[in-house]
Structure 1
């Protein structure tokens, strides 16, 4: 919602201020299709050159994050802590019984209680792979932490591709606007014998190219790239929390301490309160009984 509001504010303030100052939209509207064709078309072409098909698709998908916001909400962090609590407790009580859950999470009665988490392959992979490694005595906390950090960082860098691609496009749009403006000046110079009122319109049309390139870069593409980066960074905390809890488990801390480590490392605006989490864990214990 904030993304839509922001776009509306940008257009209203820019063009509203222009009209309030006595500007005429006729010149802009007349030149806009041609300038947009040159600048937008060249921008799309440059985008396709600099990205492969999967990168282009993921970037287009990432644009929706501007309007959807972060994937993981307050309740998801609470559910993740409850899920990890169940798995760690089961691993310590009966490691053999844990295997059926981490080998087939899609049919596990524990995982299926948390459908949003189960739907995320990377989160499930982090949890199951780490617990499986621990069951095979690969349980050095420092080595496991290093492996998890590298895996999370690799996934983070991949998720940041959309933001980088949008920012690269934003950086190039002003220059493409200048290209369109120069072509407009060339067209104007070819009509130098025309009266001043004609030349004025031609020069105004050429300047629309410069305006459009800068406007699209700093009014839309740049903010889009920044928002996508913010969302990706926010969602990355979810996977870091998994690492923190599972590494604490390998240090043989009490189960409740492991979960509290995760709660404390949850972003403040998504962090469940101590009492809220206690109530959720009590419900989990009652279901298990």
Structure 2
């Protein structure tokens, strides 16, 4: 929401200033120039990236407005889920959570944390880490290295989309110049017109340069920067899971592992220790009644 307010403010001030300073003729050419420059920008995005990266870059514009998807309650759900799985594994061995990690979408344990279960990156990291620990608990560094690699790959893939948006922002001033040159060519074809007509045509042509610079530094560039922040913020969820599971693989008690993971969460998203403990207790009691 703050990003949307900022965008409205920038557009209102810039285009309001254009109108009030006598840019009425330029405003008439605005739809054509926007279509020209915007279409060319989308074309450069498609040309320079794979379909998956281009699609994620387009979705990143919306993510810049909506922000990171993880909230404090999601971090609490993650800690409760990991605590439940670790306690089950500690009490009954890894065979007791085999069904959970092999079929998480059908698992009652994962069903208690639907936002984590439905996120492919978080779900895969958790299941793969437990699977590796079950195969060889004598080498906890193997599972931790795999988690580091998974986080790096996930972050690297998403940062390609961020870089793609930055590339579009860098290209927009040049595309604006192209649009301006096309306008000048059109004006030169009407050189026999009156100065008033030529002045309006030249002003419309220069609108392309204006739009290219404005879109680059006033819209797309800031949105790309914000999208990058969102990607990094969402990666904190994976880092929290890595910290918690790495501690468990080192032989630390599940309760301490959960607290280590909780301590790694930023203060504004960190759930209270008491809330996590109460939620964990509720899950344990629900499991005993079901049994």
Smaller-chain TM-score bracket = over 0.9
Q: Which residue of 2 aligns with 1:9?
A: 9
Scaled by the length of structure 1, the TM-score of the pair is 0.93
Q: Report matched runs for 1:2-151 at 5 Å.
A: 2-19=2-19, 22-95=20-93, 96-151=95-150
Give the superposition deviation at 1:11. Answer: 1.2
Which piece of structure 1 moves more, 137-146 or 177-186? Answer: 137-146
CA contact (8 A) 1:133 1:139 kept: no
Secondary structure in structure 1 of the residue aligned to 2:108: coil
Q: Report matched runs for 1:210-229 at 5 Å.
A: 210-229=209-228
Distance, in Å, in 2 between the alignment partners of 1:5 and 1:34 is 26
The superposition leaves residues 2-50 of structure 1 with CA deviations (integer Å, 9 ceiling, x where unpaired) of: 232122111111122334xx42342122222332233222222212111
The superposition leaves residues 218-238 of structure 1 with CA deviations (integer Å, 9 ceiling, x where unpaired) of: 121112111211111000000
Aligned pairs, how many?
287
| C-alpha RMSD over aligned residues | 1.7
CA contact (8 A) 1:59 1:165 kept: yes
Secondary structure in structure 2 of the residue aligned to 1:110: helix
Scaled by the length of structure 2, the TM-score of the pair is 0.92
CA contact (8 A) 2:133 2:140 kept: no
Give the superposition deviation at 1:151. Answer: 1.4
Q: Which runs of 5 or more structure 2 residues have no equivalent in the other structure?
A: none
CA contact (8 A) 2:26 2:200 kept: no
Give the superposition deviation at 1:79. Answer: 0.6
Secondary structure in structure 2 of the residue aligned to 1:194: coil
